[in-house]
Amino acid sequence: MAFIPLEQLSQLYDGYQRPFKVDGKALLLCQLEGKTFLIENRCPHMDVPLTDASQGAQCTLRCRAHGIEFSLLNGKANGPLGDTIERLRFYPIAYDGNKLGVDTDTL
């Protein structure tokens, strides 16, 4: 296990959204409605980074490329495409003191 710190807990706020690269993996750390998520920074529709995705109500991210909205609560695309598009990929968040990050064993 190797803990890689990504952010200080005190730096998180609703609306926070920042990309990271760890062990060659593109990650996106974001916080919405008091919940923190770490996902693969890739839209499952056509592999576009979600760095500039817009955050919406009920913990959603809308990809700017084609406007598909994904729920961060279950990873599914909202609407009729929900059962046809792959889900967002989540990574477990690891904590160490006042820092949040990722355990490289989980990547």
Interaction site with ligand FES (CB under 6 A): 43, 45-46, 48, 63, 65-66, 68
Q: In whole angstroms, how close is the CB of 58 to ligand FES at the nearest point? A: 18
Which DSSP symbol is given to 79?
Answer: S
Tokens of 107: 């990547």
In angstroms, the CA 3 to CA 71 distance is 27
Judged by DSSP in three states, 84 sits in coil
Q: In whole angstroms, how close is the CB of 53 to ligand FES at the nearest point? A: 8
What b/e string do you get for 72-82 counting C-beta neighbours within 10 Å, with b at 16 or more?
A: beebbbeeeee
Q: Nearer Cβ to ligand FES, position 18 or 45?
A: 45
Q: Nearer Cβ to ligand FES, position 78 or 104?
A: 78
Q: In whole angstroms, how close is the CB of 46 to ligand FES at the nearest point? A: 4
Distances from the Cα of 38 to the Cα of 23, 73, 84, angstroms: 15, 12, 23
Q: In whole angstroms, how close is the CB of 49 to ligand FES at the nearest point? A: 9
Q: Nearer Cβ to ligand FES, position 43 or 102?
A: 43
Q: Nearer Cβ to ligand FES, position 24 or 47?
A: 47
